[in-house]
Amino acid sequence: MTTPLTSSGLSLRAGMTVGLLGGSFDPPHAGHVHITKEALKRFGLDRVVWLVSPGNPLKPDGPAPLERRMAAARAIMDHPKVIISDAEARLGTRFTAATLEALMMQHPGVRFVWLMGADNLVQFHLWDRWRSILEAVPVGVIARPGERTGARRSKAARMYRHARIAGRAARLLPMAEAPAWCFVNVPMADISSTAIRQRGGWTK
């Protein structure tokens, strides 16, 4: 069956552990690639899916056209375990909670893990139905430069401190029952899509 998470001959099947990395990817860059490879390794995932969103509800300005961002994502993230997907556009969902519900219905038996940078954990409580996301799937948080302290003190981290899995046990996360989350520190360059746009390296 063809679904929004089928791409370039890659498909998902029951029993797989699959990380979902959502974002506008405006533009996609080496930092996204690094996070993805670290997530595959640290959490022992079978696949990672880039969910290239039509637009970020928390950002006032719209991103570059979806087709352009999808093409750029495929060009920079060439990996046998990574799927580049426009699932939200095809499903007609705008918020992560609704996207997750739809994908879980389409892929019974697949163990999804929501992936995010530590900067997103800081504002996670602003997301639509953020608690339902944590109650639905395990969440893997990957540290980005300068965000470690803020992420650990975030509202979501404090409210769900009982559900935290230690970083040294990160490979247990995909098989854990939600709510469960794990914070891992990874060495990485401080790269952001915003900085690339400000330098003029990406125009809409």
pLDDT digits (tens, 9 = 90+) for 156-171: 999 999 999 999 999 9
Other CB atoms closer than 10 Å to residue 200's CB: what's the count? Answer: 7
pLDDT for the residue numbered 2: 53
CATH superfamily of 17-198: HUPs (3.40.50.620)
47-52, strands of its sheet edge to edge: 82-85, 47-52, 17-23, 111-117, 139-142, 181-184, 164-165
- Enter the pTM of the model: 0.87
pLDDT for the residue numbered 1: 47
pLDDT for the residue numbered 191: 57
Phi first, then psi, for residue 53 (nearest 5°) are: -80, 150
Q: Cβ neighbours of residue 25 under 8 Å, at least 6 residues apart?
A: 32, 50, 52, 69, 72, 73, 193
pLDDT for the residue numbered 62: 74
- Given the structure tokens 């929004």, which residue do they identify? 4
Query: Tens digits of per-residue pLDDT, 11-26?
Result: 799 999 999 999 999 9
Task: Using DSSP, state whether 164 is helix, strand or coil.
Answer: strand
pLDDT for the residue numbered 59: 66
Q: What ranges do the domains of the chain cover?
A: 17-198
- Given the structure tokens 């993805």, which residue do they identify? 36
Which residues of the chain are under the pLDDT cut of 70?
A: 1-4, 6-9, 56-60, 144-148, 188-204
Angstrom distances, CA of residue 153 to CA of 7, 58, 67, 121, 160: 37, 21, 37, 9, 11
Q: Cβ neighbours of residue 149 under 8 Å, at least 6 residues apart?
A: none
pLDDT for the residue numbered 4: 66
Angstrom distances, CA of residue 57 to CA of 86, 161, 179: 16, 27, 24
